[in-house]
Amino acid sequence: MSGLTLTARAVSDATTVRTQCAVVPVFSGEALQGAAKALDSAGGGSLSATLKLEDFSAKRGQSTLLPGAAKAQRILLVGCGKRGDFDRVAAREFARTVYSALNGTTAKDALVLLDDLSVHDATAEWLLETLARSLATGAYRYTETVSEPQPALTVSKVTVSSVLGKGPAQTALDAGAATASGINTARNLANLPANICTPSYLAQQARKLARGNSKLTVQVVDEKQMRELGMHSFLSVTAGTAEPARLIIMNYSGGRKSDKPYVLVGKGITFDSGGISIKPALKMDEMKFDMGGAASVLGTMTAVTEMALPLNVIGVIAAAENMPSGTATKPGDVVRSMSGKTIEILNTDAEGRLVLCDTLTYVERFKPEAVIDIATLTGACVVALGSHASGLYSNTDELADALLAAGTEAHDRAWRMPLWDDYTKQLQSNFADLGNIGSAGGGSVTAACFLSEFTKNYSWAHLDIAGTAWDAAPKWATGRPVGLLTRYLIDRAGK
Ligand code: BES
Ligand code: MN
Ligand code: ZN
C-alpha cells in the first residue's frame, strides 16, 4: 500500500554499495565512526568538513544532504543527538527525520546504515521495526477524492544494514512494514467520506482482503439474518437510515484447529448523526470517523494476514449508519437485545454500545481465547484522556496487562480504567433491564459497564478510541490502535 520495499542486508563496508542515497546517523560531540567514517574518507573528508562548519551539529531532528562519495550518489546525514541520550524517544524522532529528509529528495532508493546505532532501552529488532513502520506510514497518501493528492514518496526501495543478522533483521523490517500496511489501511478507510465508506463498502473491503488468501474467509450477516438472530438492539440503530447494516466476520485460521481464536470486534458506525437525539452541527463531519474501530479491525487483519501469523484471529465489524427519520428509533423506545436483556434507549446518540452489545453476544459462538472490542465510543473518554491514550477496560487482569504492554512497545498507548459495580448502577431503568446511558458523570466508564453486561462468558477488553482514532487538526485518521493490536497478536504468536 505504501509502495515501499524494505530489505535487510549486512553491509560491512559502506563504500562498496551502489545507492542513490546513503543515510548516515551521526551523534553530536564525537568523532565520526563506522560507515560515516568510511564514507568521509572516500569522499575526501566532506562529512567531517560539514560537521566543522557547525551548520549541522547532529542535533536530534536535524538532517543535511551532501554530495555523493564512493558508490553513493548522495549522503544524508541524520542527527541523533548525544549517544548517551539515544533512547526510544530519540529513535522515533530519528525514524521520522529519516522519512521527512528522504521525502525531500528525488532518490529512488536508499541505504540506511544503522550498524553504529543502538537504542539504550530497546533492542535492535525494535529499532528496525520502528524505522520500517515510520517510513511506510510516512509514505501513505490520501488520494481517493482529491484531484491533486500530495506527491508520492519517490523512494521505493530501502535497504537497511544493522548489527542483526540478515534473517532476524528482515523479520523485524517485515513486522514493521506489515504493521504499517495495517495502519495505512485503517487510516484510509476512516478518512473516506461516509457517502463512499458505507457498511456495504466495509463488507466489500473485507471480501477483497480475503481474495486469494485460503486462510481467510469472510461471512456477511444482513439485516434479515440479524432479525432472525434477535439482534434488535443492533437493528434499532439502523432503523432510521436507507443504508443497509452489515455484520462482517473475517475468519483467519493461521493456527491449529484446536487453538481458540482471538476475536476483535470493531464499532463500524459509518456516520453518526446522533439519530433523533441529533448532534450539533459543529464538527459533525468528524462522525464519519465513527467507524475507526472497524477500520482498526480491518487494518489489523491486513497486518495479521500479511505476516501469516500462526494464530486464529476473527475480526468482526458491526457496521451501520445512525440517522434520524420517520422510521428511526425514538428516545424512550425499549428493545430486546440478542442476549435477552431489554434496553431502554434513552439517547439514540449512545448507539455504539447498542450495535456492540449484540455483536459481543454473537461472538460467544466462537469460544474465544479473548475478545477485544475497539470503539470510538464516548466523548467523555476524550475529556478523560485526550488524544494520547486509548481508554482500556477489561474483566481479566492478564489480558489488560498484555494490551498495556503491547501499547507501550508500539507507542500506541492505552490507560486502564475501572469497571466497578458502582458505575453499572447508573444504568438502571424503570422500564427495561438497562438504560443505554448512565446518569451524570463517568461517561466512558458507564459505556464500558454497559458492554460488560454482555461479556460475562469470556475474557474481554474494551478500547475506547474516541480520542485516539483521529487528529482534530489537521483532520486525519491516525490508524490507532492497529499498532497496539498487531503487537499484541505478534506477542501471542511468539508464545
Ligand atoms: N461516536 C460518539 C462518541 C464520540 C464523540 C467520539 C465525539 C468522538 C468524538 C458516540 O456515539 C456518542 O455519540 N456518544 C455520546 C454518548 C452520550 C449520548 C451518552 C457522547 O459521548 O456524547
Ligand atoms: Mn453517537
Ligand atoms: Zn457513535
User: Does residue 172 sit within a domain?
Assistant: no
For residues 193 and 154, membership in a common domain is answered with: no
**pLDDT at residue number 3:** 86
User: Does residue 116 sit within a domain?
Assistant: yes
C-alpha 234/C-alpha 459 separation (Å) is 22
Is any atom of ligand 1 closer than 6 Å to the C-beta of 466? yes
For residues 139 and 75, membership in a common domain is answered with: yes
Q: How far is the CA of 72 from the centre of ligand 3 (A)?
A: 52
Q: How far is the CA of 241 from the centre of ligand 2 (A)?
A: 14
The phi, psi pair for 423, rounded to 5°, reads: -75, -40
| Catalytic residue positions, numbered | 279, 353
Domain boundary among 161, 193, 211: 161
For residues 356 and 407, membership in a common domain is answered with: yes
For residues 217 and 154, membership in a common domain is answered with: no
- Measured from the Cβ of residue 492, the count of other Cβ atoms closer than 10 Å reads 19
For residues 206 and 101, membership in a common domain is answered with: no
User: Does residue 168 sit within a domain?
Assistant: no
Return the ligand 1 atom nearest residue 469 CA. 8
Three cell numbers at 19? 545507492
Is any atom of ligand 1 closer than 6 Å to the C-beta of 347? yes
Say how many domains are in the chain. Answer: 2
User: Does residue 11 sit within a domain?
Assistant: yes
Three cell numbers at 493? 504468536
User: Does residue 174 sit within a domain?
Assistant: no
Report, as ranges of residue numbers, the positions in the chain whose pLDDT lies below 70. 1
For residues 127 and 88, membership in a common domain is answered with: yes
Is any atom of ligand 1 closer than 6 Å to the C-beta of 378? yes
Three cell numbers at 485? 493490536
Q: How far is the CA of 396 from the centre of ligand 1 (A)?
A: 26
Q: Which domain holds residue 20?
A: 5-161
Is any atom of ligand 1 closer than 6 Å to the C-beta of 185? no
Please count the CA atoms within 13 angstroms of the CA of 186 that sit on its side-chain side.
38
Q: In sequence order, what are the beta bridge partners of 64?
A: 77
Mutate to test the pocket of ligand 1, among 236, 284, 349 (most ligand atoms within 8 A of CB): 349
Q: How far is the CA of 409 from the centre of ligand 2 (A)?
A: 31
For residues 119 and 265, membership in a common domain is answered with: no
For residues 194 and 153, membership in a common domain is answered with: no
Q: Nearest to residue 485, comparing CAs of 268, 311, 270?
A: 311
**pLDDT at residue number 279:** 98
User: Does residue 169 sit within a domain?
Assistant: no
- Give the CATH number, domain containing residue 119: 3.40.220.10
Q: Whose CA is nearest to atom 9 of ligand 1?
A: 379
Kindly report the pTM of this predicted structure.
0.98
Q: What angle do CA 251, 254, 259 make, to 5 degrees?
A: 85
For residues 356 and 268, membership in a common domain is answered with: yes
Mutate to test the pocket of ligand 1, among 283, 346, 378 (most ligand atoms within 8 A of CB): 378
C-alpha 393/C-alpha 387 separation (Å) is 17
H helices of 27-119, in order, are 34-42, 46-53, 88-103
Place of cell 542513490: 20
User: Does residue 358 sit within a domain?
Assistant: yes
Residue 368 to residues 56, 285, 309, 315: CA-CA distances in angstroms? 55, 36, 17, 12
**pLDDT at residue number 495:** 77
C-alpha 215/C-alpha 47 separation (Å) is 51
User: Does residue 178 sit within a domain?
Assistant: no
Peptide bond preceding 310: is omega within 30 degrees of 0, i.e. cis? no
- Give the CATH number, domain containing residue 330: 3.40.630.10
Residues with CB under 5 A from ligand 2 (ion): 272, 349, 351
